[in-house]
Amino acid sequence: MSDLYRSAMHARIAKLPQLPPDVPGEEDEDEEDEVADSIGALPSLSTNSPSSHLPRTPNPEYAPISGASYFSEAVQVDVPASKLDVRVYYTPPQTTDGGAGSVMVCHHGAGFAGLSFALFAKEITRMSKGELGVLSLDARRHGKTRPTEGSSDEDLSLNILVQDLYNLLRVVFPDASAAPSFLFVGHSMGGAVVVNVVPRLLEAEYRVSGVAVLDVVEGTALDALPHMPSILNSRPEGFDSVSAAIEWHITAHQIRNITSARVSVPSLITPTPEPRPRGKRAFTWFTPLRTTGPYWEGWFKGLSTAFLAARTARLLVLAGTDRLDRELMIGQMQGKFQMVVVPNTGHMLHEDDPLTLAQTLMEFWRRNERVLVGIKKVGDL
C-alpha cells in the first residue's frame, strides 16, 4: 500500500490474487474476495431447478479474469460524509522529484463499475512509465461500494453522485496543497459527474489539469431516454453463470473487447439470493437500471453548458461524429474544447479500444499538465 494511502485514510485492503492478464487461474484459499465476491459460485446442475432448462456448461473462452494485474491496489475507503464504503482501484503515480504527481480519476457509467477502466488503466501506466497514476471507483449502488451506518444508497441523483466523488477525493487526498493534480475521465453518466465535480475541487484549491467526457452528449442522451425502457427490456434478467454474462456482453456487442469483458463484467452481476424464486437465473444484475429511471434526465440536462464552463482543459471523445448537439457544435467551432473520434468502437469505447483511448488521453494530459505547471510557477514568482 502506498504511503499516500497510509496517511490519507483508514481503509481495508482487499489483496487481489495475482493472475496473468489474459488467462484465468486458480486463487489461493486465503486470498481476499476480489474474485470470489465478484464472480460468485457457479450454479449447480440440479434436477430440482425451478426453471425449465438446464444451465449450459460455462464456456472457457468467456471465463472471468481477475483485475489483479491492472491496478496496484483494490481498497475499500470509508467515506463518512457520504455514508459509503467505496471500492477504489488505484495505481499511484511514481514521481522522481518527490512531488505529488498526477492522477487520472475515472468514473464509470450507469450499470457499469470501476473495472471497466482496467485495460485502459494498464495502458496509461505503461505509456507514462508510472508517472501518471490512475484511480477508478465504483459509484454507489454499483460494484463493491456499499452503504454504511444503516443508510440507503438508493439516491442516484447527479448532485449526490458529484458529492460522493468530492467526498472520496477529500478522504484520499485531504491536503489540497499536497495532493496530485487531477485529470478526470467520465463515461456517459460518469461524464456528468466529473464535469460537475471540477468547480467544487477548484474552489477547494485542488489542481485540475483537465476533464475528458467519453461518448455522452446532452442532446443525444436526452433524445434517447424515451427509448431506454425498450432497450432495457431486451436485456436478459439474469444468467446461469458469470461466463454466460460475459458471453452475452460480447455476442450482443455491448462490449467488443473480450479481454476487457472478462475483467469487467463479473463486477456487474451478483448471485441471486437463496431461496431463488422460481424461474430466476443463478446471477442477476447488481444495479437494476430500470429503478434508476427517475434520475436519467437529471444526469444529462445541462451537461453541455457545464462542460463548456469548466475552468480547465476539456476533451470530448466519441465513438461517432454525428452526436454533437447544437451547443457543443458552436463550442467546437469556437475552439472551446478538443474532440476526438475513436473509430470502430461502440458506446463502451474505453473497453473496446483501450489502447487508442490511452494514447489520446496521454497526449491530452502531457499538453495540459505542462500548462498547469507553468501557471503555478508564474504564481509562485
> CB–CB of 241/282 below 8 Å?
yes
Asked if 350 is an active-site residue, the reply is: no
Closest CA to 214 of 329, 335, 319: 319
Q: Are 312 and 337 in contact (CB under 8 A)?
A: no
Of 38, 66, 72, 188, which one is the catalytic site residue? 188
**What is the distance between the alpha carbons of residues 68 and 19, in angstroms, rounded to a whole number?**
6
Residue 129 C-alpha cell reads as: 512509465
Tell me the one-letter amino acid at 21: P
Per run of 10 residues, the mean pLDDT along the chain (length 381 residues) is 43 34 38 36 32 66 95 97 98 88 97 98 97 98 96 96 98 97 98 98 97 95 93 92 97 97 98 88 94 96 97 95 85 96 95 98 92 44 30
Interatomic CA distance for residues 228 and 293, integer angstroms: 9
Per-residue 3-state assignment (H helix, E strand, C coil) for 249-314: HHHCCCCCCHHHHHHHHHHHEEECCCCCCCCCCCEEECCCHHHHHHHHHHHHCCHHHHHHHCCCCE
Establish whether 347 is a catalytic residue.
yes
**Domain range list for the chain:** 3-37+78-380
**CA-to-CA distance for 294 and 253, rounded, in angstroms?**
27
Among 241, 347, 352, 353, the active-site one is 347
Residue of 138, 153, 164, 215 marked catalytic = 215
CA–CA dist 210, 232 (Å, integer): 33
Residue-level pLDDT at 371: 62
- Confidence at residue 277, expressed as pLDDT on a 0 to 100 scale: 83
H or E element: which one contains 34? Answer: helix 34-39
CATH of domain 3-37+78-380: 3.40.50.1820
